[in-house]
Structure 1
Amino acid sequence: MNNDCYIVEDLLPLYNEGLLQEETTHWVESHIKSCKGCQELASLSQEPIDQEPIHSSIDTEKMLRQIHLKLSFYQIILIAISFIFAMKTSLLNGSFGFILTYTILGLITYLFYKRVTIVMVISFLPNFLWSIVDSLTSESTFLNAVFGSIFLACLHLIFAIIGCLIGFLVLKLKENGDKNEREEKMDIR
């Protein structure tokens, strides 16, 4: 086997697919005609390969149930954290710590789920419920309690949405960075 045989061996897949330039194709064909070893290799490369079906030992339904269970667990944790934030950092307690905590909650929730609706539910609902309970225990009318609770929950929601926007921008920057990195790799090749 000489150096030309090694080159033909490397070019054979491209030759079979018709991806070689015309001059290279003629060179490969002339070499195959003159070399018995490369003729055998070329004929073998034309034959289809028998593929056996792949049988997986992994139970996909069980795996998906486990993933769903883990995601449900994370959802419960995020909702619990949201309720704790609602109780500890609410304006009802006279604290403005909710500004930072709900921005971080919105950011983390968006990065995890990548859905604004989930951020809205996790940040609005616990505050609304906590505020309703707190307002009804103090002697206020039901209508005032509802409107006040909506106002406070919306105020918390605004900062969660700001965190959500930060998360969106982070993902876009990462996506653009990955895209630029792939383009640079393609340029290098």
Structure 2
Amino acid sequence: MNTNCFIIRDLMPLYNENLLSNETTEWVNEHLENCKECKALVEASSTELSPEPIENIMNQEAMFKKINRKLSMYQIIFVGLSFFIAINTSLLNESFGFILWYPVLGAVTYLFYKDMRLVFLLSFVPIFLWAFSSNLLDFINSSYLDMSLLEVLSHSLISSTTISLFHVIFAFIGSIIGLLMIKIKNIN
């Protein structure tokens, strides 16, 4: 193999794509007429490979189903755990720990589901139902002797909404923290 063969091999990709100048193409053609090795190499490199189809041995649908099931289980565990801690530290238990745990609930819920409505529902609805039912039980137990049922219902509705919105504010702060964490992660 002489020096020209090495040059031809270097020029072969450009030759196959017709990217050489006319003079260089003529020189390569002259060399190919005289050199059987380079001619065979050019012919071999110019033929397209027909890849055989690769057999898929994994069932992708089953694999993704298993992964999604596992992720859903982790999501339920984390949200349930943070929800449990948040409920136990609510104002209805005369605790101010909700100032810490409702932002955690909001952040965890937003990080998993990326939905502010779900953060609102998980922080508002349980506290609202708890406060509303607590007020109704107090009425049933005759704590509100001087009030009618309509007055108790309106009082319960207003106070339950106020307490629930107070908790939602802290959960919303947590969801904003979760949103910022996602934005920072996407920047990097």
TM-score, L = length of structure 1: 0.69
Unaligned runs of 5+ in 1: 178-189
The answer on 1:134 being equivalent to 2:155 is: no
- Tell me if structure 2 keeps the 8 A contact 1:120–1:160: yes
Q: Distance in 2 between matches of 1:133 and 1:170?
A: 37
How much has 1:166 moved relative to structure 2?
1.5
Q: How many Å apart are 1:28 and its aligned residue? A: 7.0
Q: Which one scores higher on RCO, CA 8 angstroms, separation ≥ 6?
A: 2
Q: What letter matches 2:166 in structure 1?
A: L
Q: Residue type matched to 1:161 in 2? A: F
Q: How does 1:11-50 map to 2 (within 5 A)?
A: 12=13, 25-26=20-21, 29=25, 32-33=28-29, 34-35=31-32, 36=35, 37-50=37-50
Shift of 1:87: 2.8
Taking the TM superposition and a 5 Å limit, the aligned residue runs for 1:153-168 are 153-168=164-179
Report the CA distance between 1:62 and its aligned residue. Answer: 2.5
Q: 1:118 matched to which residue of 2?
A: 118
Distance 1:32 1:67, change over 3 A: same
Residue type matched to 1:8 in 2? L
Kindly indicate whether the alpha-carbon contact (under 8 Å) linking 2:82 and 2:104 is maintained by their aligned counterparts in 1: no
User: Which residue in the other structure is 2:148 paired with?
Assistant: none
Amino acid at match of 1:158: I
TM-score (norm 2): 0.70
CA offset digits 1:23-65 (Å, max 9, x no partner): xx33874674325444433333332222233332222332333
Tell me the equivalent position of 1:170.
Answer: 181
In structure 1, what is the Cα distance between the partners aligned to 2:112 and 2:27? 58
Deviation of 1:15 (Å): 6.2
Conserved 8 A contact 1:102-1:159: yes
Please state how far the C-alpha of 1:90 moved relative to its aligned partner.
0.8
Q: Residue 138 of structure 1: SS of its match in structure 2?
A: helix
2: CA distance, partners of 1:28 / 1:122: 73
Given that residues 75 and 112 in structure 2 are in contact (C-alpha distance below 8 angstroms), is that contact kept between their aligned partners in structure 1?
no
Residue 149 of structure 1 aligns with which residue?
160
**Offset of 1:78 from its aligned partner?**
4.0
What is the identity, as a one-letter code, of the residue corresponding to 2:61? Answer: E
Distance 1:58 1:69, change over 3 A: same
Structure 1 range deviating more: 161-170 or 114-123? 114-123
CA contact (8 A) 1:8 1:38 kept: no
Question: Equivalents in 2 of 1:93, 1:69: separation in Å?
Answer: 35
Q: Secondary structure at the match of 1:54?
A: coil
Residue 144 to residue 6, structure 1, CA distance change in 2 (3 Å): farther
Residue 4 (structure 1) aligned with residue 4 (structure 2): no
Please tell me whether Structure 1 or Structure 2 has the larger radius of gyration of its CA atoms. 2
Cα deviation, residue 161, structure 1: 1.4
Moved over 6 A (4+): none
Q: Distance in 1 between matches of 2:162 and 2:128?
A: 9
Aligned residues: 169
Q: 1:154 to 1:38 in 2, by over 3 A?
A: farther
